[in-house]
Structure formats: C-alpha cells, structure tokens
Amino acid sequence: MNELRTILSDVVTRLFTDLVTKELLEAAEKGEWPDGLWQAVEENGLTLPLVSEAKGGAGGTWGDAFVVTRAAGHHAVPLPLAETIVASWLLSESGLDVPSGPLTVAPVHREDTLRLARAGGGWRLSGTAARVPWGAAAGHVVVVAEAEGRTMVALAARGAGEITPDRNLAREPRDTLAFDAAPIVTAAPAGPRVPANAVWLYGALARSAQMAGGLDYLVRQASQYATERRQFGKPIGSFQVIQQNLAVLAGHTAAAGTAAANAFRAADRGDAAFEIAVAKVRVGEAAGIGASIAHQTHGAIGFTYEHALQFVTRRLWSWRAEFGGEGVWAVELGRSVAERGADALWPHLTAR
Amino acid sequence: MQTFRFELGELPPDAEALRAEVREFLRRELGDAAPVRRAHSWGGFDREFSRKMGARGWIAMTWPKRYGGHERSALERYVVLEEMLAAGAPVSAHWIADRQSGPLLLRFGTEAQRQKFLPAIARGELAFAIGMSEPDSGSDLASLRTRAERVAGGYRVNGTKVWTSNAHLADYMIATFRTHHDPAKKHEGLTQFLVDTKLQGITMSPIIDLAGAHHFNMVVFEDAFVPEDMRVGEEGAGWKQVTTELAFERSGPERYLSSFALLLELIREVGKDPGERAAGTVGRLVAQLATLRQMSLSVALMLEAGESPNLEAAVVKDVGTTFEQEIPEVVHALLGVEPTIDSGSDLQQVLGFLMQRAPSFSLRGGTREILRGIIARGLGLR
C-alpha cells in the first residue's frame, strides 16, 4: 500500500470507529438518516474518490475507492457510500457535474430497464427500478438508461419517481423507484468506459469490497471473542476445533480481500469484467461460510440483536445477493471461460 | 492478533518476455504429451528434462552466480515455476533441490558444501530427497528418533525414515537426525545432514501408494557413516533449519495447481456453449483459481521484498490445497463419469489419476491441521 493510501486507510478507520456506534446503527435501522455521519464522511472527502479535484472530488483511483469501501463494510456504515462512489464515477466519466450529498444508482436488477425519451429540449425518464439502495434517502439517483439505441447516463433528483419503500436484511433501505416520463436534472451519452451494464458491474465491484471488509470484521471479532469467552475452565479459542474453524474463516477472508483488491486494480486499468466476476463469486462464497463460522464461534450471544456481530452478518447475507449472487456471476464467468476454450485459460489468467 | 496482509503487486515488465520463452520451450519439449502425463505435475521425474532446464538457466535462478546461480529475481523464478506447473512439466528431478535443499545450503551450509553441491544442482544434475518423517514422527516432527552419534571423523546413524519421496531416484538426501536426546527438550538436539543415498548402511525399500505407484520409500540406516563435513549447520540447530526450510515454499504455485490438468479437461468437456450448471461450475473453479494465483503471487512479492510472510504462506497452502483437492469432487458431482486408469477419455483418466492423488495434497509439506494451527496462532488463539 502506498503512503497516501495508508493515510487514507487510517483516516477512514478512525472516523468510522469513532462515529459508527451501536446506537447509530440501531437508529439507522429504525429509519433515521445519520446526517452527522454523512457530513463527516463528506467533509473528509471520502465520498468522491474518483471525481477529479477540479470537479470537487479527490482525484483518486479505484484503489483509493477500495480502501474506503472496504472500511465501510468493516464498520457496517449505514450510508450509501459505495453507491455514491459508483454514481459519482458514472457522472464524471460521462462528463457530468457531480452534485453534493448522497447519491445512488439505478437500475440495480439486470432485468430492469430505464429509458430516456426526448421531450422538448430535454429528456424524460421512464421505467421501474426495483430495490434501489437508499432510493428515497439519496439526494439524487444516477441512472444508466437506454435512449434512442445508445446508452446514456442521467441524473434525477429525489422525488422524480414514485417511491415504494422496502429494506434488505440489514434494514438498509431498498426502495423501488417508478419513473413515468419524469423530468431529470441532466443527461449525457455514457462515457467510453461506461458500458450499458455499468451499474450492475460496478455495483458488484463495490459490494465485493464491502463484503471483504465485513469479513475482516468477522475474523477480528470472532478471534477476540474466542480468547475472552471461557468454558470448561479455559478460553474457547484454546480448543483445536475452534482454532481450525477460525483458520478456515481467515483463509476465506484472505481470499475475499485479495479477489476484491484485484478487481479494483483491474478497474483502474480499464476492462475489469473478468476480475469483477471473479471477485463477486469468490467473496460471495466467503461471505456465507464466514458468517456461519463467526456465528458458530459466538454461540447464542451472537444470535441476539444485543450483540454487534449481526450488523455485519445480516449485511453479508444481503450484499452477496445484490448486483448478482455468486451463482449468477459464476455462470457468466464460466461461459466466458468456455467460449475462449481450455487452452486459452492459462494465457488469459497470466495476461491480466 | 497479527494482520494477514495480501498486498497486490505487479510482476516486473521483463517477466512477460521470460514467460513467452518458457512457453515456447515447453511447447517443444512436451509436444503432445497426454493430459494424464501432465496431470503428474511436480511428480514427474525426468533427469534429461531437468538438465535442459539447467542449461536454460531456469534452476537456481535467484542464487549467486558464484554458486552457479543466475541472480534473477524471485518473481522471475515464480513465472518459470507457474508455467512449468500449468503445463504439467516433469520437474521432479530438480524440484526439491531447487526449492528446498539448495536454499538450505545457501543459508546454513559450509562454503565447501556450497561449492560442491550448488553448481551441480543449478545444472539440473543433482536430485535431492528429504528425510524428515519417521514411523513414529509425522506431524510431531520434533519427536524424531533416528540417532546420529559422534564417532571419529563423523557420525554413525541408526534409525528409519519413511515417506521419503524419490529417495530411490535421488542422489542425495537432506536428513534430520537426533544428535542429542533430552526428553524434556525434544526440539533441541536435532541436526541436519547431507546424506549420499548410495552410502553403505542404507537400505531402501519401496512404499507403494494407493494407486500402485512407487515414489515413497522407507530408508533404513544401520550404522551408516556420515562424514563430519556433511553436517549442515551447527549441531542442534536442526529444528530451526527444518522450520525455515518448510516455510520456503508453502505458498508456491504447486500449492494450488496440482489439479489444473483436470480443470482444463473439464472445460474441454463442457464445450464452447455449456449449460447453466456446467458454466456455473467452471466459473466457480476459475474464480478460486484466479484468486489463489494472486494470493500466491502476493506472498512471492513479499518474499522478494525480504519480508517473512509465514502466516500468509500457510494461508495460501491451506486454501490452495483445499481447492486442488476439491476439483475431482466437483467434476464428479457435475459429470458423474467413471474415473479410469488405463482406458476411457482423457478426462476420465485425469480424473482417475487425481482422485487417487488428491488425499496427499493436504498432507505433504505439513498437514492441513498443522497449517491451521499455525494460522490460529497468528490469530492470537494459541
């Protein structure tokens, strides 16, 4: 990690450790918008790592975005931070200005399509996007839409569409947005690095990093618990079966962190579709196994709302399914590998 | 709790030119070798192939030139190793010497030992075996009992080593013997030696593996005389040397590529346009493979930077061997074809070979349980 990134990592870790308390998480789960936390995150310049400094961002890389997103997952940050990072990148890649405040992206389901149609001098947005993260709380939604046979990126203000609120297992808002010839703020043809499936792709990328961060938390928390909790007269971590389980958790966590980091690195290079698929598959698998081991280690206390473990495990169970579960991505990845053929696998792997 | 670090890094730009050179060499040397031959991976023993590798400068790549090495980077060496394994080249005749015995001598050997052995290893002319396990000492390595007693000019050795891979083919063995016995301090009193496999007083007998193959041996020492100048390192320093030696290569590509040949046959079998279930199976395996390669490379980069990523290396071996062990199971679950020995398709033969080989993946070089114990120590649990 270079020096700047180490500093960034220290900043986000300190900020989240101080501010993302159990009380804040509980309030957020009751529907309260953690405005103070958002202000702090924005003031520290963490929301727009991929937007140029001239446009008000940090002028950084996907590698920087990884540090922020992973830490957000580690601390179960109840904000659309990952979404804002992806949304602002979509805007700035397409030459559009980035508004301040929280952003989200749509559509997040592969089968949902939004369309832009010309109306007078501008564009109108139509279609339904199911389960948009923080669809109601975000100030703006950044949409990748079809328009006259091409892909466009559009910015719609909160309230442009009809909102049906819902939530995921972690009580994070997942609101369905229905647009019916809705007015938008601005739109532009998608930038050259923004494919038609960009939301799906980079959403999966962001979730991979969040899950990798969540797994980091599980290893730390479960190891600590195992040294503190005593049964049969000694810490449960001194039993080999607990040690072996936690070693498995550590292995999956290491794999998840590596797969996610590698996908962010590929995003900095350009075409990251292969690495993102690899990451969503590998991290998603680790998330399920990891959550299971962490809970088994904690026993009954970890199964209570009282204990903080569940803030992360419930997120892992939702995040692994969002922007495509590992099964979906494995099929996509497997098809691309099969199409290139067996003899191309190794050259392909080593060329990336 | 220690932090596990898997920083990504880049291979140096000249590594790709080297990779192309290695591929061209392998294409000519291996030709149309059958997939089941390639599936032997680092089990294939071929002295002529090893000599050609030596002539190319692909053994002892990182060692000093004065010992016949080539002073190239650990990352260039990594490229050569992973290309060899991905192609299923028969590297066994130089593998152990290049990976463990040579580096051990470089670090702990005398100048005379280095001069005598390292250049020959670098030429691919000396094959080594490792004499560690004994009938009553497997994972509990510190309990080993084979005695080396001081006599005039050297040591007299009595005892038995088992599971000594390729001892019947190797020229030398790096063996660990007990030179001092104190039941309270079993980690002390161990010493390593260079043992000529043709020595008088050594009797070898094959131990046939479950597939009927001979690579293991039982090596019995009866008053075998090992000269003083064949001791490696100080008397009693064996435990530290052995653990260093084992850590040299826990994380190399051989810890996740052992079943690569079967993954290739699976991809051939499912064809260009697989159904959802087959595509998902391939995709999941490729995701594991691609991730393991980055983890393994990450450790190589740390080693190159002079760090000691022992925990990370144990993680790579645990996750990697779990993966290579899983492939035959996954292929069986998807295709349900019968594994075969001497008939059937390439896929069936590779499946048959690897299914019988797979149990060893999480035993050799430290069992899964031992590795997980090392990882648990890193987590602060012991």
pLDDT at B235: 96
How is residue B3 annotated by DSSP? Answer: P
CB contact under 8 A, B272 and A341: yes
Residues A335, B298: C-beta atoms closer than 8 Å: no
Q: CB contact, 8 Å: A22 with chain B?
A: no
pLDDT score of B137: 94
pLDDT number for residue A136: 97
pLDDT in tens, A61-108: 999 999 999 999 999 999 999 999 999 999 999 999 999 999 999 999
Q: Is B315 helix (H, G, I), strand (E, B) or coil?
A: helix
Nearest CB neighbour to B379, from listed A246, A330, A346: A246
Contacts of residue B4 in chain A, CB cutoff 8 Å? 250, 253-254
Residue B9 has pLDDT above 90, yes or no: no
CA-based nearest distance B232→chain A, Å: 34
Phi, psi of A128 (to 5 degrees): -115, 135
User: CA A130, CA A117: separation in Å to the nearest integer?
Assistant: 20
The three-class DSSP label of residue B342 is coil
Task: Please compute, for residue B169, the number of CA atoms within 13 A of its CA located in the half-sphere on the CB side.
Answer: 18
The pLDDT, as a whole number, for residue B2 is 58
State how far Cα A235 lies from the chain centre. 35
Residue B247 has pLDDT above 80, yes or no: no
Q: What is the predicted pLDDT for the residue at A277?
A: 98
Longest CA pairwise span in chain B (Å): 72
Peptide bond into A107 cis (omega under 30): yes
- In this structure, the dihedral spanned by the alpha carbons of residues B75, B79, B84 and B87, taken in order and rounded to 10 degrees, is 150
- Give the gap in angstroms from C-alpha B51 to the nearest C-alpha of chain A: 26
Q: Please name the residue of chain A whose CA is at the shortest distance from the CA of residue B369.
A: A244
What is the SS3 assignment for B274? Answer: coil
Task: State the average pLDDT for chain B.
Answer: 95
Q: Is A335 close to B279, i.e. CB distance below 8 A?
A: yes
Whether the CB of A230 is below 8 Å from some CB of chain B: the reply is: no
Task: Search chain B and give the residue with CA nearest A349.
Answer: B290
Which pLDDT does position B250 carry in this prediction? Answer: 81
Distance CA A34, CA A77 (A): 10
Q: Are strands A150-157 and A174-183 parallel, antiparallel or unpaired?
A: unpaired
- According to the model, what pLDDT value does residue B12 have? 87
Probe site for chain B from A3, A283, A337 (most B CB atoms < 10 A): A337
- Closest C-alpha to A237, from A192, A296, A297, A190: A297
From residue B180, give the alpha-carbon distance in Å to each of A23, A113, B141. Answer: 62, 76, 15
Contact B283 A281 (CB under 8 A): yes
Check whether B339 has a pLDDT greater than 70.
yes
**Which residue in B76, B249, B269, B324 is the catalytic one?**
B249
Does A277 contact chain B (CB < 8 Å)?
Answer: yes
**What length does chain B have?**
382
CB < 8 Å to B271, chain A? 338
Instruction: Show which of residues 329-348 on chain A sit within 8 Å of chain B, judged by CB atoms.
Output: 329-335, 337-339, 341-343, 345-346
Does residue B212 sit in helix, strand or coil? coil
% of chain B at pLDDT higher than 90: 85
Whole-angstrom Cα distance, residue B82 to residue B74? 12
Q: Report CA Rg, chain B.
A: 21
Kindly identify which residue of chain B lies nearest to residue A63, measuring between CA atoms: B8
3-state per-residue secondary structure call for chain A: CCHHHHHHHHHHHHHHHHHCCHHHHHHHHCCCCCHHHHHHHHHCCCCCCCCCHHHCCCCCCHHHHHHHHHHHHHCCCCCCHHHHHHHHHHHHHCCCCCCCCCEEEECCCCCCCCEEEEECCEEEEEEEEEEEECCCCCCEEEEEEEECCEEEEEEEECCCCEEECCECCCCCEEEEEEEEEEECCEEEECCCCCCCCHHHHHHHHHHHHHHHHHHHHHHHHHHHHHHHCEECCEEHHHCHHHHHHHHHHHHHHHHHHHHHHHHHHHHHHCCCHHHHHHHHHHHHHHHHHHHHHHHHHHHHHHHCCCCCHHHHHHHHHHHCCCCCCHHHHHHHHHHHHHHHCHHHHHHHHHCC
Tens digit of pLDDT for each residue in B78-109?
999 999 999 999 999 999 999 999 999 999 99
Q: Please tell me the distance from the alpha carbon of residue A104 to that of residue B340, in angstroms, as a whole number.
A: 55
Complex ipTM value: 0.97
Whether the predicted pLDDT of B3 surpasses 90: no
pLDDT at B42: 82
The residue with tokens 């190891």 is: A223
- Is A337–B278 a contact, with Cβ atoms under 8 angstroms apart? no
Q: How far is A139 from chain B (nearest CA, A)?
A: 36
Give residue-wise pLDDT tens across range B206-225.
999 999 999 999 999 999 99
pLDDT above 80 (res B259)? yes
At B330, the pLDDT band (50, 70, 90 cuts) reads very high
- Facing residue for B268 by CB, picked from A277, A330, A342: A342
Please tell me whether residue B194 adopts helix, strand or coil conformation: strand
Q: Which chain A residue's Cα is nearest to B23? A: A347
Angstrom distance (rounded) from CA B178 to CA B175? 10
From A51's Cα to the closest Cα of chain B, the distance in A is 24
Is this structure's pTM higher than 0.90? yes
Q: Is B276 annotated in the active site? A: no
Q: Which residues of chain A have pLDDT under 50?
A: none
For range B2-23, the mean pLDDT: 88
Contact A334 B284 (CB under 8 A): yes
Contact indicator for B9, B298 with CB cutoff of 8 Å: yes
pLDDT of residue B248: 65
Q: Is the pLDDT of residue B1 over 80?
A: no
What band does B202 get if pLDDT is binned at 50, 70 and 90? Answer: very high
Q: What is the pLDDT of residues B21-53, one digit of tens each?
A: 999 999 999 999 999 999 998 889 999 999 999
| Among A220, A219, A242, residue whose Cα is nearest residue A230 | A242
pLDDT band of B196, cuts 50, 70, 90: very high
A237 touches chain B (CB under 8 A): yes
Q: In this predicted structure, what is the pLDDT of residue B307? A: 84
CB pairs under 8 A between A and B: 171
